[in-house]
Each structure stands twice: as C-alpha cells, then as structure tokens.
Amino acid sequence: MIKLTRLNGVEFLLNQTQIQIIESIPESKVVLENKDYYLVKESFDEIINQIIEFNANVADKESYLKAKRRLAEMAESEDNL
C-alpha cells in the first residue's frame, strides 16, 4: 500500500497493484484497473518512488525489518542522551 493525498488534503492508502495508469495533468491522476480514479497532490515521480520502495520492502522484508529496528534503536539511544 502507498500513501497518497487527495487535493483536499485527505490522506489515504492505495493498493498500488490496482493502478493501471498515472497521468500528470498537472496534478496526478491515478487511474485504477476498475476505471475509478483519484486526483492527488503527489507528483508522478513521488508515486513511482513510493511504489518502488514498497515493492523493495516486500521483496526484502527481513532486511527492511532489521533496518527499521536499527533506526528505532538509534532513535532510542539518542533520546537517552
């Protein structure tokens, strides 16, 4: 799932596997397989980057979780200083 923002500022999660096409008109129009669409604030490149990051995280979940734990541990140790 990727997080997008409607033009009115409302955030929502979207299953990226349902995306059929993304248009830049100048806002981004995300058209789904069922022909529904959303106009969102994120740029074409931002949406693509979110999809790439999500897919990479799913493909390498173990490494993702280890990195997330390391970041949490680092943040906790900084809080304790």
**Contact between 17 and 9 (Cβ < 8 Å):** no
pLDDT tens digits, 17-62 = 999 999 999 899 999 999 999 999 999 999 999 999 888 878 777 7
The mean pLDDT value for 63-70 works out to 82
Number of domains comprising the chain: 1
Q: CA nearest 5: which of 28, 31, 33?
A: 28
pLDDT of residue 56: 84
Boundaries of domain holding 30: 2-79
Q: Is the peptide bond before 26 cis (omega within 30 degrees of 0)?
A: yes
* Token couple for 28: 């981004």
* Token couple for 30: 């995300």
Torsional class of 35: left (φ above 0), alpha (ψ -120 to 50), beta (otherwise): left
For residue 14, the one-letter residue type is: L
